[in-house]
């Protein structure tokens, strides 16, 4: 099968022709139909995340059809459409797993990082960690749900609830793959969404307004009103004090990325007033089930740019340089 592989961190992916993987007990083999290109893939390829499996097939927003079934599986069938997320396996016995925090499992496996992913024609995944996808969305549109959507959903819940009686204004710093999905969820929940983009990114600001955001502008600009919460999607540590300065007392700032540049020192006054700063780590299967059910009910729109599998390096470069609006998706 064709695959794009990482030999060492910091190197471009190289095309390879390798044998199709065989599913073991509890595993599915999928014929990949689409694979999203996530900023986490960029962190893996660029070496921001330590100790990836090498050589590695990246990619953890996989949409595919069941092509082969390993022993012990009864709840998936040949030809069914499957979504594969970042969380690929957990031990089930460590303290976090036993207390409902499998996203913090001490020996978790991650698709496209410690487990081969979906930048290929075929992929193998643990059936217990796969999701059924909204039938209303085609393969390309559904791919970004599997990380951008899922992690954004977890971050949005951590930012506190909205209410029909209270618009609970929330700011999103970085309006890319995750934010453009979650803005729609927040707006549907009755929240006022304020989008902050790279200075001068008029395309992202226009998309934000089209998707129902109340306001869109450059990072560093003050929003029209103080915010009750903020989610930082961009991997820029300097945005942490910026977001803290824009939320009210008792406001919440959530860092939604798996990697971020160093956070600069800032005065205690930005945190004082019982403001809360927290991070999001990975996802749980419960997150996935709840988000996919929500995505089946809402008319979510995903803005995507499709690339051929062999153009994976170009897709990563476009993401790295901020040339994308929405999400990139590879087509094998």
Written as one string, the DSSP assignment of 163-231 is BTTB---EEEES-SHHHHHHHHHHHHTT--EEEEESTT-HHHHHHHHHTT-SEEEETTSPPSS-EEEEE
Overall number of domains in the chain: 2
Residue 191, CB-side half-sphere exposure with 13 Å CA sphere: 25
235/304 same-domain check: no
**Looking at residue 185, which CATH number applies to its domain?**
3.40.50.720
Tell me if 171 sits within 8 A of 208, measured CB to CB: no
Helix (H/G/I), strand (E/B), else coil: 98: helix
203/237 same-domain check: yes
The reported pTM is 0.94
203/298 same-domain check: no
Q: What is the pLDDT of residues 47-71, one digit of tens each?
A: 999 999 999 999 999 999 999 999 9
Range of the domain at 79: 2-146+282-331
SS3 content of the chain, % helix, strand, coil (to 5): 30, 30, 45
Q: What is the pLDDT of residues 197-224, one digit of tens each?
A: 999 999 999 999 999 999 999 999 999 9
**Looking at residue 63, which CATH number applies to its domain?**
3.90.180.10
Q: What is the pLDDT of residues 149-197, one digit of tens each?
A: 999 999 999 998 765 556 789 999 999 999 999 999 999 999 999 999 9
């Amino acid at each position: 099968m064709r695959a794009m592989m990482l030999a060492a961190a910091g190197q471009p992916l190289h095309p390879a022709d390798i044998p199709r993987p065989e599913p073991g007990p509890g595993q599915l083999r999928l014929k990949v139909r689409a694979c999203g290109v996530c900023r986490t893939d960029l962190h893996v390829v660029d070496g921001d995340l330590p100790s990836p499996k090498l050589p590695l097939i990246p990619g953890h927003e996989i949409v595919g059809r069941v092509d082969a079934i390993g022993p012990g599986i009864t709840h998936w069938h040949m030809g069914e459409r499957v979504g594969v997320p970042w969380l690929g396996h957990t031990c089930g016995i460590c303290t976090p797993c036993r207390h409902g925090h499998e996203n913090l499992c001490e020996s978790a496996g991650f698709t496209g990082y410690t487990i081969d992913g979906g930048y290929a024609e075929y992929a193998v995944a643990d059936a217990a960690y796969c999701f059924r996808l909204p039938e209303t969305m085609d393969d390309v549109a559904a791919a970004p749900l599997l990380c951008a959507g899922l992690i954004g959903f977890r971050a949005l819940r951590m930012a506190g609830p909205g209410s029909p009686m209270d618009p609970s204004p929330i700011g999103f710093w970085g309006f890319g793959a995750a934010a453009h999905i979650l803005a729609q969820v927040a707006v549907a929940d009755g929240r006022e969404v304020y989008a902050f983009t790279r200075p001068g990114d008029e395309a992202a600001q226009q998309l934000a307004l089209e998707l129902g955001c109340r306001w869109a502008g450059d990072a560093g600009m003050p929003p029209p009103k103080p915010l009750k919460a903020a989610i930082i999607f961009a991997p820029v540590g300097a945005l942490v004090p910026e977001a803290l300065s824009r939320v009210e007392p008792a406001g919440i700032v959530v860092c939604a990325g798996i990697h971020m540049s160093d956070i600069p020192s800032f005065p205690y006054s930005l945190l004082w007033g019982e403001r809360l700063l927290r991070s999001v780590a990975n996802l749980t299967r419960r997150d996935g089930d709840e988000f996919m059910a929500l995505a089946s009910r809402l008319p979510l729109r995903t803005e995507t740019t499709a690339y051929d599998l062999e153009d994976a390096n170009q897709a990563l470069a476009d993401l790295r340089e901020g040339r994308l609006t929405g999400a990139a998706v590879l087509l094998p």
